[in-house]
Amino acid sequence: MGTFFDAFRFMVDHLGLLGNGALRTFVLSAAAMGVSMAVALPLGLWLGHLHRGSLVAINLSNVGRALPSLAVISINLALLGLGFLNVMVALVIVAIPSLLTNAYVAVDGVDREAVAAARGMGMRPWQVFSRVEFPLAVPLLFAGARTASIYVVGTATLASIAGGGGLGDIIFNQASYGLPGVVAAAIWVAAMALAVDLGLGAVQRLLTPRGLRAEPDAPVVGPPAAGTSGASPAGERLEPAATAVAR
């Protein structure tokens, strides 16, 4: 247990080092989330709006969940070498499945009667999407972003073996920082993942339309009960994609 004591002393002594590492990991993760969302959300929302391509949209997350991210980084190391491109490709591959699948399921699963009512009121397809489907899809959409960002933070840590930098550099370099340094960085990574999760969870609750706030205590983050039917109303539906990639 002395190691943990030393780890806290390391944190005090090397606050700048850990802070810089955390910042770098965070910026890298945020950039990867930005790229992934720019790719996955429009596609997922559009397919969901059309109720098309469910096979691809849903199976992608199954395949994505099965991809060990360390293996992806490893293969990239041979094909792309060390560096930013490798890291970014790995992070985007980790993030896209749960984003795309949740975006699809979120819009696809919007109550058809609400959509029919909107059409009956004379809304155009774009208005139906922007005023009805999208707001109702927000909670699930956000759940996907939350899941994805936790995996991205974990993978960004792993990605330091491919030159990603950040807190992973400390975790993977016991020779320089000693076990207390490694443990200190591990504590920071864990705290960062939990903070991202809690922060996004809070935003998710704020963004949820009032009518959908059925359950007082929102489900804990993590994977859904996969394989169960999605018959429950939109607000309490579990995430469809447990994209548990090596984090």
Partner 1 sequence: MLAQTVIPDFGGGGACVTQNRTFCWDWFSAHWGDTFQPALLQHLALTGIAVGIGFAIAFSCALVAHRRAWFERPFSGVSGLLYTIPSIALFQLLVPVPGFGLTWVTAEVALVSYTLLIIFRNVLTGLREVPVEAREAATGMGFTPRQTLWRVEVPLALPAIVAGVRVATVTVISLATVAAYIIDAGLGAPIFHAQQTTFKTEFIAAGVLAVALALVADGLLVALQRGLTPWARRRAA
Which residues sit at the interface with partner 1, rule CB under 8 A? 1, 3-4, 7, 54, 58, 62-63, 65-75, 77-79, 150, 153-154, 157-158, 161, 168, 171-172, 179, 182-183, 185-187, 189-190, 193-194, 197, 217, 220-230, 238, 242, 244-247
Nearest to 147 by CA among 247, 51, 227: 247
For residue 26, report the phi and psi dihedrals to the nearest 5 degrees: -65, -45
The DSSP element (H or E) to which 85 belongs, if any, is helix 84-108
**Cβ-based nearer residue to partner 1, 119 or 247:** 247
Structural tokens at position 203:
């935003």
**Cβ-based nearer residue to partner 1, 141 or 150:** 150
Given a contact cutoff of 8 angstroms between Cβ atoms, the answer to whether 33 and 152 are in contact is yes
**Cβ-based nearer residue to partner 1, 19 or 230:** 230
Instruction: Please state, in angstroms and as integers, the Cα–Cα distance from residue 65 to each residue in 101, 210, 246, following that order.
Output: 11, 32, 9
Per-residue burial over 62-81, b = 16 or more CB atoms within 10 Å of its CB, e = otherwise: eebbebebbebbeebbeebe
**Cβ-based nearer residue to partner 1, 5 or 38:** 5
Nearest approach, Cβ of residue 128 and partner 1 (Å) = 24
Nearest approach, Cβ of residue 177 and partner 1 (Å) = 11
Nearest to 241 by CA among 226, 221, 229: 226
The whole-angstrom separation of Cα 67 and Cα 96 is 12
Burial of 20 (0-12, 13-18, 19+ CB in 10 A): middle
Nearest approach, Cβ of residue 82 and partner 1 (Å) = 8
Nearest-5° angle of CA 157, CA 159, CA 163? 120
3-state class (DSSP) for residue 208: coil
**Cβ-based nearer residue to partner 1, 70 or 212:** 70
**Cβ-based nearer residue to partner 1, 72 or 99:** 72
**Cβ-based nearer residue to partner 1, 120 or 227:** 227
Nearest approach, Cβ of residue 123 and partner 1 (Å) = 28
The whole-angstrom separation of Cα 16 and Cα 90 is 28
The whole-angstrom separation of Cα 115 and Cα 168 is 47
Nearest approach, Cβ of residue 13 and partner 1 (Å) = 18
